């Protein structure tokens, strides 16, 4: 059951990654140069209050080094890469193990 949920989350994250990649590709074609929108910019455009709330939540509950070097670096990465990486991790965590009963012919 957990593996099925992980695969479902992976599929949703992959869909978000594809949508963000298509948006960046469209902007790149329009600009005539490669455009990769950082995750923080996309999040701020979608909901600035939730980004500020997330920052406050991290600042209150986690050590200071988590927000400044770690999460700010993550928010500066292209959104499609972050969601694609998360989709890959979820897919690997939810993959079906290969059964080894059939390895040898009897």
102 found inside a domain: no
Mean of pLDDT over the chain:
91
Q: What is the DSSP letter of 29?
A: H
24 found inside a domain: yes
Cβ proximity of 5 and 94 under 8 Å: yes
pTM of the model: 0.83
State the pLDDT at residue 104: 64
State the pLDDT at residue 106: 56
pLDDT digits 0-9 by tens, 22-56: 999 999 999 999 999 999 999 999 999 999 999 99
The reply to whether 25 and 48 lie within a common domain is no
- In the chain, the percentage of residues whose pLDDT exceeds 90 is 75
Residue 47 is encoded by which pair of tokens? 């909901």
106 found inside a domain: no
């Amino acid at each position: 059951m957990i593996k099925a949920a992980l695969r479902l989350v992976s599929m949703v994250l992959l869909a978000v990654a594809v949508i963000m990649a298509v948006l960046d590709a469209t902007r790149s074609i329009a600009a005539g140069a490669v455009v990769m929108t950082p995750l923080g910019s996309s999040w701020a455009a979608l909901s600035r209050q939730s980004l500020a709330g997330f920052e406050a939540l991290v600042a209150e509950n986690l050590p200071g080094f988590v927000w400044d070097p770690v999460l700010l670096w993550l928010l500066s990465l292209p959104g499609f890469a972050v969601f694609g990486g998360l989709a890959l991790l979820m897919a690997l965590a939810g993959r079906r193990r290969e059964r080894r009963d059939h390895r040898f012919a009897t």
